[in-house]
Amino acid sequence: MTVPALRLNRWRRVSTRHGVTLVELLLALSLSAMLLVALQGVLTTARDQSTLAAEKASEAETWKRRIGQRLEFDIRNSRQVRIRPGRILFEGYAGRDAVRGNADHHACRVTWSLIDAAGRGLLVRKSEPTSPHTGNVASLELMVVGIRELLAGRPEDSLRELRIPVPAADEWHDYPSGLRILLVSPDQTVLVDQLCRGDRP
C-alpha cells in the first residue's frame, strides 16, 4: 500500500513544479496589455508628429507660393520700381478688386513693406489707386508674420549686395531683367528667394 502512494506523491510534486498559477497568468496578461497600450501610444505620437510636420510644411509652401505669385504679378504689371530699406514700391497697373480679390489692372501704386510689431516682422502689401476716377479704394493685406529682412535688387546681386542700402533718391527705376526679392527670417534663414521676371505681358 505504501509504494503506490509514494509514486503518486512523486508525480504530484513533478507536475506542480512545471505548472502556472492563476496569479502568474493574470500578471502576464496585465503586463502584455500594458506593453500593448504603451506601444500604441508611441505609434500614435509618432504618427501625430509626422502629420503635424507635414501640415506645417504644406502651410509653409502655401504662403511662399502665394507671396511668389503676388510679387510676380506686381512686377509684371508695373512700369517702375522704387526700392527702400524694408520697402518695395511698384507703380503701374497691378490693381486688384478690393472685394473679390481678382485682378482688374487699374492704375495703382503697390507697396510691400516690413513693419515691426512688438519684435515680430509683419510683411504687408498695400495698394493705392493713383487715379481718383477709377472708383477703386486702397487695400491692405497681411502676407506673412515673422520676417526680419525684406531685400530687393537685380537678379545677379548677391545677398551681401542686396543688404547694401539703396541711396535715398526719389527716382523710379525700370528692371528689364527682373527683380530678385528675398525674405529673411530672424535666424538668418532665407525663406523666399523670388526672381520676378521683368518681361511685360
- pLDDT value of residue 109: 92
CA pair distance 15, 11, nearest whole angstrom: 6
- pLDDT value of residue 138: 84
Residue with cell 509684371: 76
Indicate the domain borders of the chain: 56-196
- pLDDT value of residue 149: 92
Q: Which stretches in the chain have pLDDT values below 50?
A: 1, 6, 8, 11, 15-16, 201
Burial 159-175 (b: 16+ CB within 10 A, else e): eeebeeeeeeeeeeeeb
- pLDDT value of residue 30: 83
- pLDDT value of residue 167: 63
- pLDDT value of residue 56: 57
- Which among 79, 80, 67, 103 is positioned nearest to 181, based on CA atoms? 67
- pLDDT value of residue 200: 52
- pLDDT value of residue 26: 80
| pTM (two decimals) | 0.65
- pLDDT value of residue 110: 92
